[in-house]
Chain A
Amino acid sequence: MNWLRVYAIVYLVFLYLPVLLLPIFSFNDATVIAFPLQGFTTQWFKELAGIDALHGALKNSLFIGIVSATLSTILGICAARASTRYRFPFKAPIMGAIMLPLVLPEIIVAVSLLVVLMQLGFSLTSWTVIMGHTLICTPFAIAILSSSFQGLDQSLEEAAVDLGETRWGAFSKIILPLVTPGIVASFLIAFTISMDEFIIAFFLTGADPTLPVYIWSQLRFPKRLPSVMALGTLLIVASLVLLSIAEYFRRRGIRRTGAKDSGGFL
């Protein structure tokens, strides 16, 4: 056994063991999170159904997720098309600036946004969270959509125009169908990011918390811990499903245009 293999195994255990504990304890028949396990129960999941505040947070998160994903995907389409199709002055620095939130510490983004919004006199609502989420989701959308747009032959649009279509007709009849899988993938990933995001939501949320903020607030009550575990389990499953669907669409898109796969998120 060589060291690299040991390292790889230790790394994977460290990465996934805590996540694996979540579903295990969510079925454990005890309020204390500790081994040994006490017995199997689904009571924590049933309990979730009865918490109104949780339902509010879930609805709020879904709304924020859908709106942020839509906005960042639309912005992503514009930016990806501009960066792959056109040449313009200061293209590299502009694209760099747009992609920057990808690596910027979220706490910095969150605090700066909060300061600016307060100074401008905005009150904190779901829409302020949407602003923050759109900001951090857009780089992901651009990354995914760029690979869709990149794979397209530049002549396709001209060919459509040559055959009598208007510029918009060529875009909507040829380009959009070919990048639709990328659009779906971008939407789903942006949605997942928004659903899971805590820091920005924590700083910018008003009276209605998002789901992650709600979960955090529940951690103060030890009795609630098992049901938070159950909720976490559901979120993990939902995230995995959404990401898998997104990757499926991304790969299908690449197959359809006959381009080479230049790597995705999964």
Chain B
Amino acid sequence: MSSIISLSGIQKYYGDYHALRGIDLEIKQGEFFSLLGPSGCGKTTLLRVIAGFEDVSEGVLLLDGADMARVPANKRPTNMVFQSYAIFPHLTVGQNVAFGLRKKGLSKDDMAKAAAEALEMVGLAGYGDRAAHALSGGQRQRVALARALVLKPKVLLLDEPLSALDKKMREQMQGELRRLQRQVGITFILVTHDQEEALIMSDRIAVMFEGEIAQMASPQELYRRPATRRVGEFIGVMNFLEAKQTAASEKTISFDVEGLGAAEIRIDQFPEGARASADVVGLRPEALSILFEGQKSTGRVADATVQDLAYYGDMTYYEVTLEGSSTPVTISMKNLISRPVLERGTKTRVQWDERSLVIFAA
């Protein structure tokens, strides 16, 4: 598959402020790609650079092989779904959707037909004559999608499109967006600060901090092997334990891990930089489990005390301290009918697996 978008060495300054610090990025045709990061990391700026609303200070942006340096926003084969949806309030839903079609030289009938099809695609069939300002948040979002998709852009840009919706609606739209993307086969680039949303929806995610891409990988890779501590912290929950290197060979490093004891980690699966600088190891909450009364261990075991817990219904998140360590460690456990929910102060044993330990680049 070929690259639909290719960014190399993109720099963006606002006066003295360095908003984008050398972005290199290849996005494949048909990919659902997410730009993920905290607010102010430059993800929206990068999206606006691709859309043509911001010019770059340095670097090259190719869209389907063509240099976009001198192509204004209204001539680019991209369309955007804005965070506020930007539905034109004085037009009807149908006029909103057909707005971009007027420049395509279609007949009135073809335009109406295309608009109606686009509305049907987003589940708003028959809404064409309604006043746009009377729609609900979820409906506006769908109109914004239809208005962009009806132009069959090469790339659809979505700027935090779900952040204004309530939780239920957001979860529903996540599924619908994903389905829609597979159906139309258009490359989607989603900007979001919600790591869960990025994991659920994307084929690939670029995590951005301070104008730089910290890591670019598939959701699974990103969760399993975050390149830096900061990425690990940002995506999901991660426990960090101090670790002293005791031995190192070609393929493995041995550690003495705080509270867990000796562990050997295979290093070939981690990035180059991770080998030398590891003085801390990471462990996801589900990589540890509590051994309940009478349960046999299948891995390594450590003693622990329950300090606190959060009950979620299907899951319980325990905060425990390991014997010989004061660092709080989070453990997630599925709530089964056969398992009690432990109380604060309970002494218990936890089981873990050294294959799930993660090391980071500095």
Contacts and interface: CB of A to CB of B under 8 A. Distances in A.
Contacts of A158: 53, 73, 80, 82, 86
Interface string A156-188: 101111111110000000100110000000000
A65 to B, nearest CB: 29
A159 B143 CA distance: 13
Interface string B187-212: 00000000000000000000000000
Contacts, number: 61
A256 interface: yes
A258 interface: yes
Interface in B18-55: 51, 53
Given A161-B74, A162-B73, A165-B74, A174 B88 contact: yes
A164 B133 contact: no
B71 to A, nearest CB: 13
A153 interface: yes
B79 interface: yes
A2 interface: no
Contact of A164 (B80, B84, B86, B103): B103
A153 B103 CA distance: 23
Contacts of A162: 51, 53, 73-74, 78-80, 148
Nearest to A155: B86
Contacts of A165: 74, 103
B100 A153 contact: no
A132 B233 CA distance: 65
A258 B91 CA distance: 13
Contact of B86 (A156, A256, A257): A156
Interface residues of B, number: 26
B90 A177 contact: yes
Interface string B68-104: 0000111100111011111011100000000110111
Nearest to B147: A163
Interface string A104-134: 0000000000000000000000000000000
Contacts of A256: 89-90, 133
A155 B90 contact: no
A155 B79 contact: no
Given A153-B84, A155-B84, A158-B82, A163 B151 contact: yes
Given A158-B53, A160-B99, A256-B133, A166 B86 contact: no
Nearest to B150: A163
A160 B147 CA distance: 11
Contact of B99 (A155, A163, A166): A163
A159 B80 contact: yes
Nearest to A174: B88
Nearest to A165: B74
A166 B82 contact: no
A166 B83 contact: no
Contact of A257 (B72, B89, B100): B89
A186 to B, nearest CB: 18
Contact of A163 (B83, B90, B100, B133): B100
B357 to A, nearest CB: 46
Nearest to A151: B89
Given A155-B83, A159-B82, A166 B89 contact: no
Contacts of B78: 162
Contacts of B100: 163-164
A162 B90 CA distance: 18
A153 B104 CA distance: 26
Given A155-B84, A158-B53, A256-B133, A163 B79 contact: yes
A66 to B, nearest CB: 27
Contacts of A163: 74, 79, 99-100, 147-148, 151
Q: Which of A159, A161, A178 gathers most chain B CB within 10 Å? A: A159
A258 B89 contact: yes
B335 to A, nearest CB: 44
Contacts of B83: 155
Contacts of B102: 164
Interface of B: 51, 53, 72-75, 78-80, 82-86, 88-90, 99-100, 102-104, 133, 147-148, 151
Given A155-B85, A159-B82, 14 more contacts: A153-B84, A155-B82, A156-B86, A158-B82, A159-B88, A160-B88, A161-B72, A161-B73, A161-B74, A163-B74, A163-B79, A164-B102, A177-B90, A257-B133
13 contacts: A155-B85, A155-B86, A156-B88, A158-B53, A161-B53, A161-B73, A162-B73, A162-B74, A163-B74, A164-B100, A165-B74, A258-B89, A258-B133
